[in-house]
A and B are shown apart, each in its own frame.
Chain A
Amino acid sequence: MVVNEEYRQFLESVRFVYGYDFTEYAEASVIRRIRSFMEANKIDTLKELGKMVMKDETAFEHFIQEITVNVTEMFRDPLFYKSLRKNVISRLATYPFIKVWIAGCSTGEEVYSMAILFREEGLLERTVIYATDINQDALQKAKEGISSISNMKNYTDNYLKAGGKNSFSDYYKAKYNSVLWDKSLRQNIVFSVHNLAMDKSFNEFQLILCRNVLIYFNQTLQSKVISLFYESLCPFGFLGLGNKESLLFAEKQKCFEEIDRKEKIFMKIK
């Protein structure tokens, strides 16, 4: 277990020097990401990486942006969005003003998907979507709202399966090999940096989405983050997790009711 001990120490010093805490992340995943960073940058040993990032803040920033970026797509798991339309939207519609938090939004595909869904359900005008991520580069991309045209076939397919009501191409303008999401979708979106492992609750929401983020955390951190969501939800507010995620390790598990077991949608009940 010598190898893992070395990584643990490295992550401890990252926390000590820069205040980024990865010590409660799922170890195998984080080690894999560090290794691919080392491979891509031709760094042979962890010691070498440590030397490089500990004394050079720019190098550290680069490292942090590389190892915290998550992959995402428009309307990923279409049935999840379909279930939102069916089980959640009508209840959200009873609020005069709706606040949504998308935690770990990465490059924003999920945020734009939600904006499209809310527009089609006639709720976007009175909704504010708070989209947060630990990764500033990803957030910057999210704000720009640009995607590659090569993704559009898959995204259109997802959109239709998700119960999309219009033509997916209504929501973007294609230029060369890129597409730009319709600017009006962005009107009610606030992008900001938030670190789930360390930062506190910052508002109260009727809906929180955090999909395929918890899988990167260990059980302790998963439970902490669920508690953070619990505190950030209004009574009878909704929580949507990723397909393979659960409340199994959460201290607050009993405070939620399953709305859709398969699609991992929960409601805060007490």
Chain B
Amino acid sequence: MQLRNAYDAIVIGASAGGLYVMIRILHDLPAGFPIPIIVVQHRSKDERALLEEVLQQKCTIRIKQADEKELIQPGTVYFAPPDYHLLVERDETFSLSFDAPVNYSRPSIDVLFETAAEVYKEGLLGILLTGANKDGARGIKKIRLAGGTTIAQSPETADYPEMPRSAISTGYVQHVLTPEKIEEFLLTVEKR
């Protein structure tokens, strides 16, 4: 199956072991990357902005924590804040919620993926990386059913294969790729 390469938005989900892969796939993206990237990385609730600071040191593209009601823009990688769910609204702004954890997680990947799928539909690319739980599997299914494209990190390259494996077992992951391939692919995508 051939990968399409034009999108309106990209969502990424990662849990345990995510930081290393995240650096790997984001560090070469140019500052003017044409598509907004929105990420849920499971993180400690006491850590206020450390993740963004660490990543910004390694990346050229702007890294920031998503703010409530912020307009989603290209050239930026947004991270869900610790201890809040991150949702995409129809007017392409963010909402935050402090609703109960989903899959024991807040932020939850499913919450981001499902709301983004409704807004961006076939214009959405969803990527699920390493992790030790099942968060993201439901979201991947929803992205695919809404016409979007789905990628999972190949479990044998993941420090914690459980998460990509659960997503793959739903049957809605179209492409299983190594971090190198994911990086390569991101460098060639265009704005839809």
A29 touching B87 in the complex, CB below 8 Å, given contacts A71-B100, A212-B98: yes
Residue of B nearest to A248 (CB): B69
What is the CB-to-nearest-CB distance from A56 to chain B, in angstroms, rounded to a whole number? 26
Q: List the A side residues contacting B118 at CB < 8 Å.
A: 3-4, 28
Partner of B115, one of A32, A216, A243: A32
Contacts of B77 in A (CB 8 A): none
Verify A244–B89 contact, CB threshold 8 A: no
Quote the shortest CB–CB distance from B64 to chain A (angstroms).
13
- Chain B: residues with Cβ within 8 Å of the partner, total of 19
Chain A residues whose C-beta falls within 8 Å of the C-beta of B68 in the assembled complex:
215, 244-246
- Report the separation of the CA atoms of residues A244 and B89 in the bound assembly, to the nearest whole angstrom: 17
Q: Which residues of A contact B96 (CB under 8 A)?
A: 215, 244
Contacts between chains A and B (CB distance < 8 A), count: 57
B58 contacts A by Cβ under 8 Å: no
A215 in complex: contacting residue of B88, B95, B100, CB < 8 Å: B95
A33 at the interface (CB under 8 A from B): yes
- With a CB–CB cut-off of 8 A, which chain A residues contact B35? none
By the criterion CB–CB under 8 Å, are A249 and B90 in contact? no
Q: Which of A147-195 contact B (CB under 8 A)?
A: none
Name A29's contact: one of B90, B97, B114 (CB within 8 Å). B97
Min CB distance, A39 to chain B, in Å? 11
When chains A and B are docked, how far (Å) is the Cα of A4 from the Cα of B119? 10
User: At the interface, yes or no: A219 with Cβ under 8 Å from chain B?
Assistant: yes
Report A-chain residues with C-beta under 8 Å of the C-beta of B69: 219, 248-249
- Number of interface residues, chain A, beta carbon within 8 A: 23
Q: Mark A18-53, 1 if CB is under 8 A from B, else 0.
A: 000000001111001100000000000000000000
Nearest-CB distance from B116 to chain A (Å)? Answer: 10
Q: Is the CB of B99 within 8 A of A32?
A: yes
Q: Which residue of B lies closest to A78 (CB)?
A: B46
Given A26-B95, A32-B115, A71-B99, check contact A244 B67 (CB 8 Å): yes
* CB atoms of A28 and B88 under 8 A apart: yes
Q: CB within 8 Å of B: which of A194-238?
A: 212, 215-216, 219
Residue among B81, B99, B115 having the largest count of chain A Cβ atoms under 10 Å: B99
At the interface, yes or no: A70 with Cβ under 8 Å from chain B? yes
Check B98 against A28 for contact (C-beta < 8 Å). no
In the complex, B111 has a CB within 8 A of chain A: yes
B98 and A70: CB pair below 8 A? yes
Do A27 and B89 touch across chains, with their CB atoms under 8 A apart? Answer: yes
Tell me, yes or no, whether B160 is within 8 Å of chain A by CB.
no
Task: State in angstroms the CA–CA spacing of A32 and B88 once bound together.
Answer: 11
Bound-state CA distance A219–B90 (Å) is 14
A244 near B84: Cβ-Cβ < 8 Å? yes
Candidate in B68, B84, B89 with the most chain A CB atoms within 10 angstroms:
B68
Q: Are A1's CB and B84's CB within 8 A? A: no
Residue in chain A with minimal CB distance to B111: A32
- Are A28 and B95 closer than 8 Å at their CB atoms? yes
Taking the closest CB of chain B, its distance from the CB of A59, in whole angstroms, is 22
Measured CA separation A106–B90 after assembly (Å): 28
Q: Which of A215, A246, A248 has the most CB of B within 10 A?
A: A215
A28 touches B89 (CB 8 A): yes
Q: Find the A residue at minimum CB distance from B89.
A: A28
Residues of A within 8 A of B81 (CB): 243-244
A28 near B115: Cβ-Cβ < 8 Å: yes
Query: Which residues of chain B are near A215, meaning CB under 8 Å?
Result: 68, 84, 95-98
Least distance between A99 CB and chain B CB atoms (Å): 26
Contact A29 B88 (CB under 8 A): no
**Chain A nearest CB, measured from B156 CB (Å):** 34
In the complex, what residues of B have CB within 8 A of residue A246's CB? 67-68
Inter-chain contacts of B67 with A (CB < 8 A)? 244, 246
Q: Which residues in window 55-114 of B have CB below 8 A to A?
A: 67-69, 81, 84, 87-90, 95-100, 111, 114
Q: How far is the CA of A93 from the CA of B79 in the complex (A)?
A: 40
Give B contacts to A, CB under 8 Å.
Answer: 67-69, 81, 84, 87-90, 95-100, 111, 114-115, 118
Q: Which 3 A-B pairs have the closest CB atoms?
A: A28-B87, A26-B95, A212-B98
